[in-house]
Amino acid sequence: MAKTHDPNGRLRAAASAFFRFYADNPRDLDLGFYLFRGGMKPAGLGRKRDEELNGALEAALHPIADAAEALGASKVEANLLMVDVFAHAAGLLLLLHTGRIRMFAASASALMEDYIHYRMARIGKRSC
């Protein structure tokens, strides 16, 4: 990810890089959703490995929250935006990798970029 001091650029770059990584690496996305083996109940890979994976996920997502704070969001708003971007990316990635996005003649990448722009525009105007 290119280094930029501009909070807008940092937020856009962090959110886009997270999305692009999993768009380009579907097997890593599968690992990220290991919790859903056998249905929507946590299965885990063992306490230590789960903690490592969760820490890595948080580290990958935290630049989004940091940039949101630099743009004027409170810590709570920035963390909520980070979770929201993660949830939106996860949904689009699911549609992309299952091929369901084609049903809508849509681009997951374009939808993600639009969503990032929309969320950035809301920072400072009202709660994230």
As a residue count, the chain comes to 128
pTM: 0.78
User: What are 71-109's pLDDT values in tens digits?
Assistant: 999 999 999 999 999 999 999 998 998 899 999 999 999
44 within 8 A of 92, measured Cβ to Cβ: no
Encoded amino acid at 74, one letter: S
Q: pLDDT value at position 125?
A: 65
Mean pLDDT computed over every residue of the chain: 84
